[in-house]
Copies of this chain bind each other. A is one copy, B any other.
Amino acid sequence: METKPHPPCPYPDVPSAEKHAHNFKRVRDAHRREIVEDYVEMIAELARVQDDVRTSHLAERFGVSNATVTNRVQRLVGDGLIEDAPYQPLVLTEKGRTIAQESRRRHVLVRDFLIALGVDPDIAEADTEGIEHHVSEETLAAFARFVDRGSAATETTAI
């Protein structure tokens, strides 16, 4: 865990107030998008491996109550990401599928990057869940470069 011989104090410059405020606003925005992305991503994910996706399945996967899922799902229906059909399996709209694919892309890339870096696959999967919503396209590109560089040598993949 040693780093370069940096100056006596471990603190470089403080960002300007404007940059700080901008960065924190970005984080708050990401938090607002997070549930939406998690839900459509999970629906798409489960749809790959089972016939029906039900609110109860999401409740189990997210570790929350059925009522909570129903409420969130109703919002997503309102946003036009899930088709409206009470008591029926959850089906993504075209728009929902698009967001799910984009989220999935980020998820897989972040996870594969962490694994390529030497992180245990289970831990990589866990950390990815929190990280994926906060990684810019630029950083994602840097992750991709690193994974590509490594895969010249070894064939990676996991979880």
Interface residues in A, total, Cβ within 8 A? 77
Tell me the smallest distance from the CB of A34 to a CB of chain B, in Å: 8
A-to-B contact residues, CB < 8 Å: 1-6, 9-15, 17, 19-27, 30-31, 38, 42, 45-46, 48-49, 60-63, 104, 108-109, 112, 114-127, 129-131, 133-136, 138-139, 141-148, 151, 154-159
Knowing A15-B159, A17-B60, say if A23 contacts B131 (CB, 8 Å).
no
B61 touches A24 (CB 8 A): yes
Interface class of chain A by DSSP:
helix
Knowing A129-B26, A136-B127, say if A61 contacts B142 (CB, 8 Å).
no
